């Protein structure tokens, strides 16, 4: 019974977290302000407004799309800056192609550089995880060798093979670290050029 109640509470919390606004927020919303906040956050307009409609219909409120869109357009310039593009990209967030044509190239320049940084860090993290996995396998095999009373040559060969793989991965990680430092220098130059 307790498990069933916990599951219902968790399901309710999950459903609430998918809503863009609570019933109370819907009933007092200034749709221009809501739109401005959504634009400044870079949400895809159709999806975000549809989420508001879905959330607020339950509260008996019809969002004002005209006011919301006016606010959304006012908020976009705060989102569509080169430095914000750098920040969004370096966090690995997606870009919903919402920036106006006059702001998009500079935003995208920052976003692309940030995304390269994020992807390189992910690559390094994946290598480090592979190294840790191989090190754990070596420890397990070393325990087998210590506790075995039979021929351990196959296990020893596997340990040696894993050590060679670790060396190769560490060399690759070193190369990626160098790449990452260059990317971070490019990011610093980008920030400096943009006055940050």
Local confidence band at 9 (pLDDT 50, 70, 90 cut-offs): very low
- Domain extent at residue 74: 23-79
Q: Are residues 116 and 48 in the same domain?
A: no
Per residue in 72-119, pLDDT (tens digit) is 999 999 999 999 999 999 999 999 999 999 999 999 999 999 999 999
The region, left, alpha or beta by phi > 0 then psi within -120 to 50, assigned to residue 42 is left
Per residue in 20-58, pLDDT (tens digit) is 898 888 889 899 999 999 999 999 999 999 999 999 988
- Burial bucket for residue 81 (CB in 10 Å: 0-12, 13-18, 19+): middle
Q: Taking the complete model, does pTM exceed 0.85, yes or no? A: no
Q: Are residues 72 and 103 in the same domain?
A: no
Q: Are residues 61 and 48 in the same domain?
A: yes
Contact assessment for residue 181 and residue 164, using Cβ atoms and an 8 Å cutoff: no
Number of structural domains found in the chain = 2
Q: Are residues 43 and 110 in the same domain?
A: no
């Amino acid at each position: 019974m307790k498990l069933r109640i916990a599951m219902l509470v968790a399901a309710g919390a999950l459903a609430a977290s998918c809503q863009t606004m609570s019933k109370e927020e819907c009933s007092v919303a200034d749709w221009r302000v809501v739109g401005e906040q959504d634009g400044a956050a870079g949400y895809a307009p159709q999806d975000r407004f549809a989420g508001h409609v879905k959330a607020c219909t339950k509260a008996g409120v019809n969002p004002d799309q005209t006011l919301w869109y006016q606010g959304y357009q006012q908020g976009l310039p705060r989102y569509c800056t080169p430095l914000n593009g750098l920040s969004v990209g370096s966090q690995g967030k997606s870009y919903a192609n919402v920036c106006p044509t006059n702001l998009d190239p500079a935003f995208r320049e920052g976003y692309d550089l940030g995304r390269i940084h994020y992807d390189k860090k992910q690559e390094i993290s994946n290598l480090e995880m592979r190294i840790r996995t191989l090190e754990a396998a070596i420890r397990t095999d070393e325990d087998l060798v210590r506790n075995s009373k039979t021929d351990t040559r196959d296990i020893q060969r596997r340990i040696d093979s894993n050590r060679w793989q670790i060396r190769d991965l560490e060399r690759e990680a070193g190369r990626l670290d160098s790449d990452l430092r260059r990317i971070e220098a490019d990011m610093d130059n980008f920030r400096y050029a943009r006055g940050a």
